[in-house]
Amino acid sequence: MDIKSAVALFVIRSLALLNLPLARTLGSGFGRLMARTNSSMYKVTLKNIQLCFPEMLPQLQRRLALESVQETSKTMAEAGLAWAGTNEKFQRNARQIISVKNAHLLEEAVSAEKGVLLLSMHLGNWEWLTSYLPQRCDLMGLYKMAKMPGLEKAMLEARLSCGVQLVSGTRDGVEKFTQHYVDKKVCIIVPDQEPSQKSGVWSEFFGMPALTPKFIHSLIQKNPEGVVLNSYVLRVPGGFEMVFEEVEPEIYSQDLATSASAMNKGFEKCIRQHPSQYQWEYKRFKRNKEGFYRGL
């Protein structure tokens, strides 16, 4: 195993020894440190908030940026618990889901047996979905391969132990994922990051032109009878709240631009309700010609 993977695994396994309150306290403190040292994480977060909330007063933008890096750091600190690795620990994680909002949307969609596509986002800690969903449906997830092979292997072993079928973003993996949805089963994907120029279409996100994945539109068209839902897991006192939301109806449009716009609009609605828990440190507008992140 490479050194970087070994160090990352050591940190994650150490975090797994903490309970949820301690992990969150540690994450909050680390996030405050990232803000005070004006880290790259904080600077990118602040830049995205300035771009997406231009109407907000500067002091409120800075406050939201601080809260966001703290919440993102909590997500990082919860990684050891999220990648539980044993059935007993995944059951513990499931008990930490203290409420489910709009559970009927998922139940009705699964019961219809026409296929369900869950669009998650980096809002709260989506990893806890893997402690809830496999008990209720035949779930397959598409994941982005990690840059550290050793870490990826451990991550996959942990996630697979909870009952989720996982495929990577390779050609073969995408084909398997697509077939799972065509076969009218349940798929989950996190498509709120910037794709390559070839794989994306320009669409507004918080009023900003952003490259948006074409794949979601393609997938929907391959099973037009399927149900698409937005899903995320919020951090709340004592645990998590799982949320399912209806998507914008236009996401089912045969027109790519219309569908992509509807997906971003739906994500934006979810994020606006809980902006501090969104991971704003991603360079979502990296390929924008304005070069927003230059020097950050």
**Which neighbouring-strand residues pair with 108?**
none
pLDDT of residue 207: 95
> With the CA atoms of 17, 19, 22 and 23 taken in that order, what torsion angle do they form, in degrees rounded to the nearest 10?
70
d(CA 258, CA 112): 26
pLDDT of residue 146: 59
Residue percentage of the chain with pLDDT more than 70: 90
d(CA 67, CA 169): 32
Burial class (CB in 10 A: 0-12, 13-18, 19+), 30: middle
Over 55-76, what HEC string results? CCCHHHHHHHHHHHHHHHHHHH
Helix (H) and strand (E) counts for the chain?
11, 9
What is the chain's pLDDT, residue by residue, as a tens digit (296 residues)? 567 667 767 777 788 888 999 999 999 999 999 999 999 999 999 999 999 999 999 999 999 999 999 999 999 999 888 876 666 777 788 889 999 999 999 999 999 999 999 999 999 998 888 778 877 888 998 877 656 555 566 666 666 566 678 888 889 999 999 999 999 999 999 999 899 999 999 999 999 999 999 999 999 999 999 999 999 999 999 999 999 999 999 999 999 999 999 999 999 999 999 999 999 999 999 998 889 999 88
Give the domain ranges of the chain.
Answer: 3-277
d(CA 296, CA 293): 5
Over 92-133, what HEC string results? HHHHCEEEEECHHHHHHHHHHCCCEEEEEEEEECHHHHHHCH
DSSP 3-state assignment of 195? Answer: coil
d(CA 230, CA 240): 17
pLDDT of residue 210: 95
Single-letter residue type at 250: E
**Span 3-277 CATH architecture:** 3-Layer(aba) Sandwich (3.40)
Q: Which residues contact 182 (CB under 8 A, 6 or more apart)?
A: 115, 222, 223
Under DSSP, the state recorded for 204 is: E
